[in-house]
Amino acid sequence: MPRIDNDVKLDFKDVLLRPKRSTLKSRSEVELMRSFTFRNSKQSYTGIPIIAANMDTVGTFEMAKALSKFSLFTAIHKHYTVEQWKQFAVSNPECLQSVAASSGTGPNDFKNLTAILELLPEVRYICLDVANGYSEHFVEFLKDVRSKFPDHTIMAGNVVTGEMVEELILAGADIIKVGIGPGSVCTTRKKTGVGYPQLSAVIECADAAHGLDGHIMSDGGCTCPGDVAKAFGAGADFVMLGGMFAGHSQCGGETIEKNGKKYKLFYGMSSETAMKKHTGGVADYRASEGKTVEVEFKGEVESTIRDILGGVRSTCTYVGAAKLKELSRRTTFIRVTQQVNTVFN
């Protein structure tokens, strides 16, 4: 008989942060930089733990250049060649500390990843990304990567439950990517019926990871700076963003013009658009689990970054957290039935 878990699981939209008495005078007093030492790599990180997703529209070298100026991080997508990495490294050596090289579990991916890391020892982060982080094959792959790169910091996922977070940490990952189905261009929940509300996933996975001295990254589902703050409040050490960074000059993907207005194409990495671009089409045995949208062109990403950082700083002042590090300790979520006033929408 199928089991039903009757605990209510929540999304960002189901809660707000409760304000708390605070001694902070201004949001300029808030420190967003964090430092972590990772469980398995033993390496340290210092920066603002917001990460551009390893999608070919968002995880670009241009994005890395812009984000690194603000101490943000970029998971570079896996479709750049070693030669392109080489050129990037030569002209932007200062960015190499704040990027990860990505890979799926395919043999070609791994060959490319190895070549990049051997060429560029300054790249210290690996992002191992599969749609379904629950497979034994993925765990075995992660173990292989860990033994080949004993002191690189490994991000791995995606999963949404504590037991799998623990398994991936014990298999060698440092930062577990959390999120199945919340993404802005993800259709997994529609195609498969599988998923987990993101806020609860983050709360539960953070608890599991922190118990083992591991870290987590909330991946997907943030639609506004308030959601980023909620993800940190829920216990995420890092927050990964795709859609919020889409539509900028720094993004990959076609620019189109309609009625005098500019748009940028943004698509899921398992959308038909991406599969046609990178593998020549959707294989017979699978359905696409991502969609393609046109995002209104937003210009340079700098103003979006300021908007996000300003929002999170303000959250910290509302709850009395002088540092981002204190945000989850100062967080009380309240369940709500309405987020915003929609009268002028």
Contacts of 259 (CB under 8 A, 6+ apart): none
List the interface residues with ligand 5GP, window 265-284 (CB under 6 A): 268-271
Is residue 307 a contact partner of residue 74, using CB atoms and an 8 Å limit?
no
Which residue in the set 162, 225, 235, 242 belongs to the binding site for ligand 5GP (CB under 6 A)?
A: 242
Site for ligand 5GP in 314-343 (CB under 6 A): none
Give least dist CB 281 to ligand 5GP, A: 15
Q: What angle do CA 268, 223, 10 make, to 5 degrees?
A: 100
Least distance to ligand 5GP, CB of residue 285, Å: 17
What does the alpha-carbon distance between residue 316 and residue 310 come to, in Å, rounded to a whole number?
A: 10
How far is residue 226's CA from residue 80's CA, in Å, rounded to a whole number? 32
The catalytic residue among 57, 153, 188, 331 is 188
Using alpha carbons, select from 156, 142, 136, 152 the residue that is nearest to residue 110.
142
Count of chain residues binding ligand 5GP (CB under 6 A): 25
* φ/ψ (deg, to 5) at 85: -60, -40
> How remote is the C-alpha of 336 from its chain's centroid?
26
- Token pair in block for residue 249: 């000059």
Half-sphere exposure of 110 (CA within 13 A, CB side): 13
Query: In which element (H, E) is residue 266 found?
Result: strand 261-267
Q: Please say if 188 is a catalytic residue.
A: yes
Query: Using CB under 6 A as the criterion, what x/- string covers residues 285-304 for binding ligand 5GP?
Result: ----xx--------------
Residues 147-166 that bind ligand 5GP (CB under 6 A): 158
Q: Would you say 38 or 266 has its CB closer to ligand 5GP?
A: 266
Binding mask 8-47 for ligand 5GP (x = CB under 6 A): ----------------------------------------
Q: How far is the CB of 14 from ligand 5GP (least distance, A)?
A: 16
Which stretches within the chain are classed as H helix? 61-68, 82-91, 107-119, 136-148, 162-170, 188-192, 198-211, 225-233, 272-279, 302-319
Query: Which of residues 176, 186, 206, 309 is near ligand 5GP by CB under 6 A?
Result: 186
CB of 51 to ligand 5GP, least distance (A): 9
Shortest spacing between CB 150 and ligand 5GP, in angstroms: 26
Q: Interface residues for ligand 5GP in 43-102 (CB under 6 A)?
A: 53, 55
How many angstroms separate the CA atoms of 203 and 132, rounded? 20
Q: 203-232 mask for ligand 5GP (x: CB under 6 A)? A: ----------------xxxx----------
Report the sign of the C-alpha dihedral through residues 279, 57, 236, 5, in that order.
negative
Pick from 49, 162, 172, 179 the residue near ligand 5GP by CB under 6 A: 179
Indicate if 186 belongs to the active site.
Answer: yes
Per CB under 6 A, the segment of 66-74, 108-116, 239-247, 312-320 that binds ligand 5GP is 239-247
In three state form, how does the secondary structure of 36-63 look?
A: EECCCCCCEEEECCEEECCCCCCCCHHH
Q: Which residues bind ligand 5GP (CB under 6 A)?
A: 53, 55, 131, 158, 179, 183-186, 188, 219-222, 240-244, 268-271, 289-290
